[in-house]
Structure 1
Amino acid sequence: MPQTRAYRAALLHCLADPREVGGEASHEYFADGLLVVEDGRVVQLGDSGSLLPKLAAGVEVVEYADALIVPGFVDTHVHYPQMGVIGSYGTQLLDWLETYTFPAEGRFADPAHARDQAGLFLRELLRNGTTTALVFSTVHPQSVDAFFEAAEKLNLRMIAGKVLMDRNAPDYLTDTAESGYAQSRALIERWHGKGRLHYAVTPRFAPTSTPEQLRLAGQLLGEYPGLYLHTHLSENRQEIDWVRQLFPERSGYLDVYDHYRLLGARSVFAHGVHLCDEECRRLGETGSAVAFCPTSNLFLGSGLLDLARLEGHGVRVGLGTDIGGGTSFSQLHTLSDAYKVLQLQGQSLDPFKALYLATLGGARALYLDDRIGNLQPGKEADFVVLDYRATPLITHRLGEARTLAERLFALMILGDDRAVLETFAAGRSVHRRGS
């Protein structure tokens, strides 16, 4: 028998990019809504007054007072092995990698440590309402196995891959072009397309891969349909200069990846802070995406992403927490920093655009918007219940808000993990606050 349950609260989800479809046409809102879920998928949503009388007898209705249901958040760039270095003091990107990141990642040679950290990481994502993420593991295949094993048990839609690094990194974290290719192939065969899991070919960034390793990464993308490419791009000016020194024959940082056939649909480049117009144009025409990581860009002093320029060239953009350069798992907190980053450049982040970036925009960046990203019937039932009374300050501020836009913006600026009352993945509760 089909398992059907209905959830009653205010409902809000995006239908389109507010940049492309103005006004209320970009989203759908029900002040007293009903979300009907059957066997892990949305079957109906709408006004509760219209839908409640039509529910079949015996269908349980779960009611949330003073709450808002939104789609599950999508994190387009995050490092699960870096939880232990969040908030590490005082360096920029390259020094930060050497001082904090590489030693932390070395511990993932131990499968027990990897399993422990994978479970903790996923619990933290779900506690913050994130139901899909594009995730860096480490160079160790066992780090990927540990992550996918934990995600499979929770039936989460997750993307991850083994890091490829065959130079300019500590010996305990390097592979070879050949071993990286062979280990990646074995992991792809084991995990890609299993349940709700996807594999990402994951060179850390151009400086830590030889030309041969990048060539084999491109070869992998051609050998298996539907793979992702996940790496870093133009995060830090010192990094960009290093790429020029290592690849003098290429016209720029992006051209290194382009030369090795790493651009295209499902290719996601984290940061993209210091891109020229030609690089933005090339990302747009290839269907590649950029992960906007405002908290880490501010924390590491990397720079300010120009969202308007990227989108002007048709680049797909999602939101990334970039733990552990980023300082919060919360997409609400990340949107607060995104708003400030854009304010510094004379741009404005409308609250409905913000919700789009954290949900449907992220799903589109990952080419998963046919499955997740909003609450349309037929989509997988990944959703979050946000508590309008999460803190005394949020309660007070929302009491003063006159419009939906004001309430949504206040949640974005003041909210964090405390605002997440419950998180659902494929229709199943995978986190409830306090339990």
Structure 2
Amino acid sequence: MTGPRRVALQGDLLDVIGDPGWSAPQDAPSGVRFRPGHWLLIEDGRIVDVRAEAPGPDWRREVRTGQLILPGFIDTHVHSPQLDVITSYGTELLDWLETYTFPAERRYADPAVAQAGAATFLDALLAHGTTTAVVFPTVHKVSADALLAAAHARGMRLIAGKVLMDRHAPDGLRDDVVGAEADSRELIARWHGTGRLSYALTVRFAPTSTPAQLAMAGRLLAEVPGLYMQTHVAENRAEVAWVAELFPQARSYLDVYHRAGLLNERSVLAHGIWLDDTDRALLADTGAQIAHSPSSNLFLGSGLFGWRALEAAGARVSIASDVGGGTSLSIQRTLADAYKMQAMQGVKLSAWKALYTATRGGAEALGLAGEIGSFEPGRSADLCVWDWASGPVAQHRDALARGLHERLFAWLMLSDERNLHETWIAGTCRPSPIRPDRSGVSR
């Protein structure tokens, strides 16, 4: 991907550079920066300045008057092959895996399927405004290789790795400890630190890895600097009970990973619904994060996530679509479900907190705040241009909004990929495939 060396993009710039917490929303809280009609200056793919006045003629000017410009969204847990089974009907987690997920993932042993699936998935992320993601491919090395290669070709910030799964899985979806380590080492050597890629040791979940495989993953995590680890934890009560049977020596589901050396500040664990106070303290102590997946939790009937309790214990929380358990790659729809889930527990999620979690907060949780998540100078120019409102209902609501928070909250609840005009990756523009006609004017 290549683009102009110096680009100036004008529009309504909004980023949130500090956690707003859980207090009642204000229109101008500390850490929220709204700069309507400002210019974002991008040089060699990185942000160099924000200013009110237009730059000189040595900058290519891209005008997006009246459009909302945000940092690209960060999805911290999503499954690339599961677009095939998104919105599948009628089961809870364990049955859902057997009925829908595992058959879909078996197809990714075919290199042609893996390559086509990776391209479809990554283009879909970009078409929904997601520029960074932490992704599960499948157990097949070719699946991880195809996904990482496709992300590199698009210049995307991606964290992914071959799934580790050596038991309690169907034929065609199991590896073994020796082969999994060899495949992982080869993929790490090829992709970890290449371009904007990082490798993640990808434990499917504790029941599908033997203690020996978990220990192997722990050794690799300690050995190779900068590796991530991704897995699932405490999503469903039947799953938690199964883990207790399989690992009777562990204090809890989370403790299984801790004993294997898999918890550190680069560990991303999806769900985390059925945790206790000791688990929450362990997450805080190790720096591991929970990738909150509200759409999936609601769709599969897994439970209500205790976001405030985790943060009160000092643990980190990011936001995730978890497609295909989740029903959309849209981070706005995911955040709308997060709002509803918290409301059911008497907690109100503000638009500021929601936007922070999907941008700068996610970057901080991944240790990437120096690269993505805000419009600070030096950050990669990963951003999206959105319509404030699309369609008569949203346009009517937007026109009546009183103050910035009300306007942004309505945008979060009513918008989706149909509001997206374009996604920028490292300063290169990719028009939305849904809305390829840009209303802005280049000059």
Q: 1:302 to 1:20 in 2, by over 3 A?
A: closer
Q: How does 1:204-223 map to 2 (within 5 A)?
A: 204-223=204-223
TM superposition shift of 1:56: 3.0
- Alignment-derived partner of residue 251 in structure 1: 251
Alignment match, 2:305:
305
Task: Map 1:5-404; keep pairs closer than 5 Å.
Answer: 5-19=7-21, 24-46=29-51, 48=52, 51-52=53-54, 55-404=55-404
Q: Given that residues 154 and 430 in structure 1 are in contact (C-alpha distance below 8 angstroms), is that contact kept between their aligned partners in structure 2?
A: no
Letter in 1 for 2:38: G
Kindly, what percent of the aligned residue pairs are identical? 50
In 1, distance between residues paired with 2:14 and 2:75? 19
Q: Structure 2 CA distance, aligned partners of 1:389 and 1:20?
A: 26
The residue type paired with residue 224 of structure 1 is V
Would you say the 8 A contact 1:247–1:256 is kept in 2?
yes
- Name the CA distance, whole Å, in 2 between partners of 1:226 and 1:234: 25
Tell me the SS of whatever aligns to 2:193: coil
Query: Contact conserved, 1:290 with 1:316, CA < 8 A, in 2?
Result: yes
Distance of 1:323 and 1:389 partners within structure 2: 25
Alpha-carbon distance, 1:70 to partner: 0.6
Q: Distance in 2 between matches of 1:292 and 1:255?
A: 19
Question: How far apart are 1:27 and its partner, in Å?
Answer: 1.3
1:2 Cα deviation (Å)? 7.9
Asked if the contact 1:138–1:163 (Cα under 8 Å) also holds between the matched residues in 2, the reply is yes
Paired residue type of 1:73: F
RMSD: 1.4
Deviation at 1:434, TM superposition (A): 2.8
CA apart distance, 1:345:
0.4
Structure 2: distance between partners of 1:107 and 1:247: 31
Q: Letter of the aligned partner of 2:30 in structure 1?
A: A
Q: Is the 8 A contact 1:265 1:286 kept in 2?
A: yes
CA contact (8 A) 1:316 1:364 kept: no
The separation in 2 between residues aligned to 1:31 and 1:2, in whole angstroms, is: 24
**Corresponding position of 1:413:** 413
Q: 1:125, 1:317 → 2: CA distance? A: 21
Letter in 1 for 2:418: R
Query: How big is the shift at 1:244?
Result: 0.2
Cα separation, partners in 2 of 1:322 and 1:2, compared to 1, 3 Å: closer
Q: Secondary structure at the match of 2:268?
A: strand
Shift in Å, 1:285 = 1.2
Name the amino acid aligned to 1:424: W
Whether the aligned pair in 1 keeps the contact of 2:159 and 2:198 (CA below 8 Å) is yes
- SS across alignment from 1:171: coil
The residue identity in structure 1 corresponding to 2:124 is: E
| Deviation of the 1:392 alpha carbon | 2.2
Q: Within 1, Cα distance between the matches of 2:113 and 2:236?
A: 31
Aligned-pair CA distance for 1:178: 1.3
User: How many angstroms apart in 2 are the aligned matches of 1:168 and 1:132?
Assistant: 31
User: What TM-score do you get using the length of structure 2 for normalisation?
Assistant: 0.95
The residue aligned with 1:427 is 427
2:5 to 3, 6, 13: 3
Q: CA deviation at 1:172?
A: 0.9
- Answer whether contact 1:66 1:389 (CA < 8 A) is retained: no
Residues 128-176 of structure 1, C-alpha deviation per residue, up to 9 Å, x if partnerless?
1000000001000000111111111111111111000000000210000
- SS in structure 1 opposite 2:355? helix
What's 2:439 paired with?
Answer: none
DSSP 3-state at the match of 1:402: coil
User: What amino acid maps onto 2:430 in structure 1?
Assistant: V
| Secondary structure at the counterpart of residue 99 of structure 2 | helix
State the distance in 2 between where 1:328 and 1:389 align: 19
**What is the CA distance between 1:19 and its match in structure 2?**
1.6
SS of aligned partner of 1:117: helix
Give the Å deviation of 1:182: 1.1
TM-score normalized by the length of structure 1 = 0.97
The 2-side partners of 1:429 and 1:32 are apart by 19
> 1:191·1:198 contact (CA, 8 Å) conserved in 2?
yes
Distance 1:384 1:394 in 2: 19
Structure 1 residue 20, shift from structure 2 partner: 8.7
Unaligned runs of 5+ in 2: 437-443
Q: Give the Cα–Cα distance (whole angstroms) in 1 for the partners of residues 90 and 247 of structure 2.
A: 29
Could you say what secondary structure the match of 1:429 adopts?
A: strand
Contact kept, 8 Å, 2:233 with 2:269, in 1: the verdict is: yes
1: CA distance, partners of 2:412 / 2:40 = 23
